[in-house]
Amino acid sequence: MQDDREDVFSKAVRAGKRTYFFDVKSTRGRDLYLTITESKKHTHEDGSAHYDKHKIFLYKEDFEKFRDGLTEAFGEIDRLKGTGEYVQDEPPRSTDDDAPPYTDLNFEDLDRKDI
């Protein structure tokens, strides 16, 4: 039996050590569904790496409810940030007066051995 399912669209979003994949796929019956995959890289002391992956399948009957829920959640984040109801704690300051209060981190550098 031939597998008629196909990948229709794919978008990867890199965010530090995580990558999010948004994949639109088609079923044999030509219905569309979405998979959202979070992939997080873990590096071992010996330099080898493995990836933890978590996947969500979203089917057509849930698209609108999912979009509405996500839009509402982002709206609430914007509201809380705008009103000051949610105030993020500041990172701890160094006791060394000469040290800058913040460190500029580049997570892409964590895998490099030459630094």
CA distance 66 to 57: 11
Average pLDDT of the chain to the nearest whole number: 82
pLDDT tens, residue by residue, 51-77: 999 999 999 999 999 999 999 999 999
DSSP for 2-67 reads ----EEEEEEEEEETTEEEEEEEEE-TTS-EEEEEEEEEEEE-TTS-EEEEEEEEEEEGGGHHHHH
Task: Classify domain 6-87 by CATH architecture.
Answer: Roll (3.10)
Q: How confident is the model at residue 104 (pLDDT cuts 50, 70, 90)?
A: low
Residue 20 CA to residue 6 CA, distance in Å, equals 20
Domain ranges of the chain: 6-87
pLDDT at 1 over 60: no
Report the pLDDT averaged over residues 5-24.
93
- Predicted structure pTM score: 0.64
pLDDT-derived band at 6 (thresholds 50, 70, 90) equals confident
